[in-house]
């Protein structure tokens, strides 16, 4: 039992708890954080890897919308949820596709597949504004194309079954929907930060390999919780792509919720992870 009292006093990481606000907890680190990305990176515009990453985001978001919208339509087509995969099946489709697509594209573009994820990583200076804007454009175009292909294959069914468009369901207020999108996106983006953390990757060799799994699982769990409220957006490109192709008033009435909510949630997750969890210093120790 010796040493227990000391552990309690100084914390599990063996660093004193009386730490000046805004300073790093550790002065000597056994890992190295990547340098902050510049705000503008003009040299990216002449690099093939930059455009290759954008194409990867386009294709990944295209496939994500294609599979997920078809799954939603398949459930809505049945008179009862018991004769289909149900809400759990929809959640698995969204989470499973994110797991697979992040695994496939992480080494090329980072596997964002979501403007909210891109926005959160940009706020943490993990990528430049140039790349962030390019990613969001390609993700949005990919989502539109994915929903468009579903409609092209099944136009009548697409129109009848709502095309996987997001809106606040009956019995819930717009405030309920906004809150669900904020918290749901916070869960997702916080998981992304934790799964790709440089400190964890340096100390646990399995973390980079397993990173897509917790990200996909976070998407699955958020869908289970928020499908009854908003159909679950937490991805502005997914919501906009379905709304543009479906193009009905109901899909456009609440569209702002599926942009404002995820962006707020992503910003809060970035701040929480960088300032509280990682204690990234904004001033140096004396």
Average pLDDT along the chain: 86
DSSP characters over 173-237 = -HHHHHHHHHHHHHHHHHHHHHHT-HHHHHH-TTHHHHTHHHHHHHHHHHHHHHHHHHS----HH
Nearby residues of 46 by Cβ (< 8 Å), 6 or more positions away = none
Mean pLDDT of 84-101: 92
> How high is the pLDDT of residue 196?
87
Residue 83 in tokens = 């004769």
- Most confident of the following: 10-19, 135-144, 272-281: 135-144
Which of 160, 149, 147, 166 has the alpha carbon at shortest distance from 77? 160
Mean pLDDT of 234-242: 97
pLDDT at 18 over 80: no
How buried is residue 233: exposed, middle or buried, by Cβ count under 10 Å (0-12/13-18/19+)?
A: buried
pLDDT at 223 over 60: yes
* pLDDT per residue as tens digits for the range 252-263: 989 999 999 999
Q: Where do the H-state alpha helices sit in the chain?
A: 4-10, 48-77, 86-105, 115-123, 129-153, 155-161, 174-195, 198-203, 207-210, 212-230, 236-246, 249-253, 257-271
> How high is the pLDDT of residue 40?
87
Predicted TM-score (pTM) of the model is: 0.84
Q: Is the dihedral of CA 143, 39, 277, 11 positive or negative?
A: positive
Q: With bands split at pLDDT 50, 70 and 90, how would you rate the model's confidence at 286?
A: very low
> How high is the pLDDT of residue 210?
82
Residue 178 in tokens = 């906004």
pLDDT at 219 over 70: yes
User: Is-contact 273 127, C-beta < 8 A?
Assistant: no
Residue percentage of the chain with pLDDT more than 70: 81
How buried is residue 232: exposed, middle or buried, by Cβ count under 10 Å (0-12/13-18/19+)?
A: buried
Mean pLDDT of 81-107: 89
DSSP 3-state of 32:
coil
> How high is the pLDDT of residue 41?
84
Mean pLDDT of 104-128: 95
d(CA 128, CA 119): 10
For each of the domains in the chain, give its residue range(s) and CATH number, in order of start. Answer: 44-276 (1.20.1080.10)
* pLDDT per residue as tens digits for the range 148-192: 999 999 999 998 888 999 999 999 999 999 999 999 999 999 999
pLDDT at 6 over 50: no
């Amino acid at each position: 039992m010796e040493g227990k009292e000391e552990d309690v006093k100084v914390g599990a990481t063996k660093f004193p708890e009386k730490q000046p606000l805004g300073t790093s907890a550790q002065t000597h680190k056994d890992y190295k954080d990547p340098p902050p990305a510049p705000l503008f990176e003009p040299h990216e515009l002449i690099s093939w890897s930059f455009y290759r990453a954008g194409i990867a985001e386009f294709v990944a978001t295209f496939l994500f919308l294609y599979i997920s919208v078809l799954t939603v339509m398949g459930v809505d087509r049945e008179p009862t949820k018991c004769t289909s995969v149900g809400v759990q099946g929809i959640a698995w489709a969204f989470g499973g596709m994110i797991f697979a697509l992040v695994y496939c594209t992480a080494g090329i573009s980072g596997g964002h597949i979501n403007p909210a994820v891109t926005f959160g990583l940009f706020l943490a200076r993990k990528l430049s504004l140039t790349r962030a804007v390019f990613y969001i454009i390609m993700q949005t175009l990919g989502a539109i194309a994915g929903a468009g292909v579903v409609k092209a294959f099944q136009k009548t069914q697409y129109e009848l079954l709502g095309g996987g468009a997001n809106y606040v369901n009956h019995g819930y207020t717009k405030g309920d929907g906004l809150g669900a999108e904020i918290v749901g996106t916070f869960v997702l983006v916080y998981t992304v930060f934790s799964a790709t953390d440089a400190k964890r990757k340096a100390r646990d060799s399995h973390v980079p390999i397993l990173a897509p799994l917790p990200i996909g699982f976070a998407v699955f769990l958020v869908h289970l919780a928020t499908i009854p409220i908003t159909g679950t957006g937490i991805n502005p490109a997914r919501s906009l792509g379905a709304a543009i192709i479906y193009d009905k008033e109901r899909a456009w009435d609440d569209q702002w919720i599926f942009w404002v909510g995820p962006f707020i949630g992503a910003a809060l997750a970035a701040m929480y992870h960088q300032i509280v969890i990682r204690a990234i210093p904004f001033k140096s120790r004396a």
